[in-house]
């Protein structure tokens, strides 16, 4: 807690207003409750004249810019993990005043209980927004493509298989009876495809100019500018992980644990962390294990674990490869090593030859 801090302030962030509760650190009593508009001017007006305080809030849409503003004003800001807050609060009724008071009291007593997180810098967040915007465009295109295919099937016809980026070129194959209805949708798909290509160019330029370390990550087959830049932006500071293996759990690619007594069931992955990066890594893993994936130790390992176990085994293998991929990328980033796709296989071959000799 700051040296001159005498109070802890809990903030329940809303889209239009923030509910505040001020708790005295010595008496543990609530000394003030306020409601402040969620605007830069209002936040600055309320906090600029206050002595340095500890302010506790949950992660949310507005927590990034508000925390940066409060830090500029000299306050200590703690950003609580929403999952931990829900676990601690239990079945407490949902009320903005109660939530603000709860945050203030926990922050006053033992803030580690809230598992505070560190927001990314404004520059990093802006760059990450470009990748998230591209992702939304891709999702919108996928929905429209599926919509068109489904509607065409109602007439007894089918559109041929093709990549999504070329789907708008199938407009002439739309049945005549549906041409007037689906024509605008096909035009929209073509426009979205152009916008995705524009995003791809911007991402490529940003990766090369502002984040040259992405080049190390792209040594791995299946890792392109989008995934490598997303990885660098989400991780931001590779030194935050003492070991590369810690990246897997951070991105939610490791199984959850629910060990109690003699019970230790095998659970699904936790899916904590950034969902977009996790999805990109899984997509890269699918490419690595697919028919066009380049030969590598990672591919061979994944194919061994995917073979003979049906669909579930293949799904588990994809997640396992994605987890190993996350670890590998962190290792390449921190060490600057040249990636050797078949390093393990070559070492085994060399050891076998030496044993025969």
- Angle (nearest 5°) at CA 347 between 341 and 353: 135
According to the model, what pLDDT value does residue 350 have? Answer: 77
DSSP string, 124-154: HHHHHHHHHHHHHHHHHHHHHHHHHHHHHHT
Question: Tens digits of per-residue pLDDT, 10-59?
Answer: 999 999 999 999 999 888 899 999 999 999 999 999 999 889 999 999 99
CB–CB of 138/200 below 8 Å?
no
Q: Could you tell me where the DSSP H helices lie in 112-267?
A: 122-153, 176-210, 214-217, 225-235, 247-250
Question: b/e string for 257-278 if b means 16 or more Cβ within 10 A?
Answer: eeeeeeeeeeeebeebbbebbb
Look-up: residue for tokens 């927001």? Answer: 119
Q: How far apart are the first and last CA of the chain?
A: 66
Return the SS3 of 69. helix
Architecture of the domain delimited by 7-114: 2-Layer Sandwich (3.30)
Given this model, what pLDDT does residue 352 score? 78
What confidence score (pLDDT) does residue 308 get?
67
Q: How many angstroms separate the CA atoms of 315 and 322, rounded?
A: 11
Compute CA 107 distance to the chain's CA centroid, rounded to the nearest angstrom. Answer: 26
Residues of the chain with pLDDT under 50: 1-3
pLDDT score for 344: 85
pLDDT of residue 148: 97
Distance separating alpha carbons of residues 32 and 20, to the nearest angstrom? 8
Q: How confident is the model at residue 181, as a pLDDT?
A: 95
Query: What pLDDT is stored for residue 355 in this prediction?
Result: 77
């Amino acid at each position: 807690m700051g040296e001159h801090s005498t109070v802890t302030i809990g903030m329940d962030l809303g889209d239009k207003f923030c509910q505040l509760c001020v708790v005295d650190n010595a008496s543990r009593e609530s000394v003030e409750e306020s409601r402040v508009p969620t605007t830069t001017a209002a936040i600055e007006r309320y906090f600029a004249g206050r002595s340095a305080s500890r302010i506790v809030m949950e992660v949310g849409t507005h927590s990034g810019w508000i925390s940066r503003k409060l830090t500029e004003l000299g306050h200590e800001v703690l950003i609580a993990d929403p999952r931990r807050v829900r676990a601690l609060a239990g079945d407490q009724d949902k009320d903005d005043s109660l939530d603000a008071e709860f945050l203030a009291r926990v922050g006053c007593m033992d803030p580690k209980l809230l598992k505070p997180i560190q927001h990314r810098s404004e520059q990093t967040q802006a760059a990450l927004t470009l990748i998230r915007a591209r992702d939304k465009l891709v999702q919108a295109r996928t929905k429209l493509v599926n919509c068109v295919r489904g509607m065409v099937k109602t007439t007894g016809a089918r559109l041929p298989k093709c990549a999504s980026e070329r789907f708008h070129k199938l407009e002439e194959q739309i049945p005549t009876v549906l041409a007037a209805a689906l024509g605008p949708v096909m035009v929209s798909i073509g426009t979205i495809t152009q916008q995705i290509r524009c995003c791809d160019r911007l991402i490529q330029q940003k990766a090369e100019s502002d984040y040259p370390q992405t080049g190390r990550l792209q040594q791995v087959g299946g890792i392109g500018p989008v995934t490598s830049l997303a990885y660098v932006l989400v991780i931001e500071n590779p030194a935050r992980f003492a070991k590369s293996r810690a990246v897997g759990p951070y991105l939610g690619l490791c199984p959850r644990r629910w060990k109690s007594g003699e019970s230790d069931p095998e659970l699904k992955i936790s899916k904590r962390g950034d969902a977009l990066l996790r999805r990109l890594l899984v997509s890269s893993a699918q490419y690595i294990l697919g028919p066009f994936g380049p030969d590598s130790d990672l591919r061979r390992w994944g194919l061994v674990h995917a073979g003979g176990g049906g669909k579930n085994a293949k799904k588990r293998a994809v997640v396992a490869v994605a987890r190993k991929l996350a670890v590998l990328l962190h290792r390449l980033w921190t060490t600057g090593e040249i990636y050797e796709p078949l390093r393990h296989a070559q070492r085994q071959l060399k050891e076998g030859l030496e044993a025969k000799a």
